[in-house]
Amino acid sequence: MAKVLVVTSGKGGVGKTTSTAALGATLAQMGEKVVVVDFDVGLRNLDLILGAERRVVFDFINVVQGIANLSQALIRDKRVENLWLLPASQTRDKDALTEEGVAKVIGELRTKFDWILCDSPAGIERGAMLAMRYADEAVIVTNPEISSVRDSDRIIGMLDSKTVRAEQGERVEKHLLITRFDTARAARGEMLSIEDILDILATPLLGIIPESQDVLRASNVGSPVTLNDATSAPARAYIDAARRLTGETVAMMVPSARKGLMDRLLGRRAA
Amino acid sequence: MMALPRLFSGRSASAPVARERLQILLAHERGLRGQPDLLELLRSEILAVVSRHVALDPEKVIVKMDRGDHVSTLEVDIEVPNVTQRWSRPPHEAA
């Protein structure tokens, strides 16, 4: 049965789009049929991260308005066979996305795909509400930083009250994905630790993505980080997270820190 | 071993401060979540009670909340028209 998963955070710039692309690509490589849907109307970027920006002809709003049908708007990834993209519109009219329109498109995608990954815009306005509205599961992307954790807490509250599932007395299964984590800084007490964040947000951990230059390197060339270099630290962390989404039990790896000069001299082991 | 890096960097750990600030803030914000707007509720109930005895302009009932560290204050400002002169002069001209 198809699963609708929203990738959300409240705060902007924490890695929603990067995570949507990486998780989507990995699930597709595992043989699942995946569509990633960009809900950021007016500021679409998922097409760019996937390297499909020049292939966009029709978009989500065109489908909602009946200007194009779904198969005309869906873009198939050139690297991963089972991966598709439904791009957002660049129109400035955010009201063009209606609840009924989203319901219709999600309903149609459910009949065609195993996974529907909804890349939410930042904020708690209409676009973010619509992205989570029909979700069965949610990935909450959080940086180890106070404003991100606060906004995540707010979004968790909304997932528990404003989704169709919540209104029907069911629950949206929530997963916490901690991104841009720096083990060395957390060990030095300069950054919230994994335990701190889990304690505060009380949400099961899906994965820990280390702060890494590989993420920018992959986005520069329009490739999900998992495809650009599958052996890089963030790619391995995303691959593990995707496997957990499918129900596999994968041991949680805390990304190892690079040793600084002082650590080497003192012979300290990286945490 | 935990104190070593602090010795070298000369700074104290800031993460515990972040953790504590978040815990206090979120305890407060979670309490407010899902509740109807408290001030609007107070305003409408105060208006209803006072209106039973005095004719009021609903726009002239102002309820403010000031949150402090230890105590918060609730300020209720109700403008009551001067009944004896109500029909002769507008309230703002009353002496």
Query: Nearest-5° angle of CA A142, CA A194, CA A125?
Result: 15
Q: Which of A149, A150, A157 sits opposite B33 (nearest CB)?
A: A157
Q: Do B22 and A146 touch (CB under 8 A)?
A: yes
Task: Write down the ipTM of this complex.
Answer: 0.81
Assign A36 a pLDDT band (cuts: 50, 70, 90).
very high
The residues, any chain, with a CB within 8 Å of residue A192's CB and separated by 6 or more, are A144, A145, A146, A149, A186, B15, B18, B19, B22
Please tell me the distance from the alpha carbon of residue A134 to that of residue A164, in angstroms, as a whole number. Answer: 6
Assign A192 a pLDDT band (cuts: 50, 70, 90).
very high
Tell me whether B21 touches chain A (CB under 8 Å).
yes
Q: Which of B15, B33, B34 sits opposite A189 (nearest CB)?
A: B15
Average pLDDT over residues A132-151: 97
Q: Do A191 and B15 touch (CB under 8 A)?
A: yes
DSSP class of A160 = T
Find, among A216, A211, A215, the residue nearest to A183 by Cα: A211
Residues 35-94 of B with CB under 8 A from A: none
Say whether pLDDT at A45 is over 90.
Answer: yes
Q: What is the pLDDT of residue A134?
A: 97
Q: Are A57 and A87 in contact (CB under 8 A)?
A: no
Q: What mean pLDDT value characterizes chain A?
A: 92
Query: pTM, whole model, 2 decimals?
Result: 0.79
Nearest CA in chain A to B25: A150
Please tell me the distance from the alpha carbon of residue B34 to that of residue A162, in angstroms, as a whole number. Answer: 11
For residue A179, the SS3 value is strand
Tell me whether A167 touches chain B (CB under 8 Å).
no
The residues, any chain, with a CB within 8 Å of residue B22's CB and separated by 6 or more, are A146, A149, A150, A192, A200
pLDDT digits (tens, 9 = 90+) for A232-245: 999 999 999 999 99
For residue A122, the SS3 value is coil
pLDDT digits (tens, 9 = 90+) for A77-86: 999 999 999 9
Average pLDDT over residues A187-206: 95
What are the start-end ranges of the E strands in B1-95?
A: 61-67, 72-78
Please tell me the distance from the alpha carbon of residue A255 to that of residue A237, in angstroms, as a whole number. Answer: 8
Assign A112 a pLDDT band (cuts: 50, 70, 90).
very high
Tell me whether B34 touches chain A (CB under 8 Å).
yes
The residues, any chain, with a CB within 8 Å of residue A40's CB and separated by 6 or more, are A17, A46, A88, A119, A120, A121, A127
Q: What is the pLDDT of residue B95?
A: 46
Q: What is the pLDDT of residue B94?
A: 47
Say whether pLDDT at A157 is over 60.
Answer: yes
Please tell me the distance from the alpha carbon of residue A204 to that of residue A198, in angstroms, as a whole number. Answer: 7
> Measured between CA atoms, how close is A177 to chain B, in angstroms?
18
Q: Do B8 and A191 touch (CB under 8 A)?
A: no
Q: A interface mutation test: which of B22, B29, B33 has the most A CBs within 10 A?
A: B22
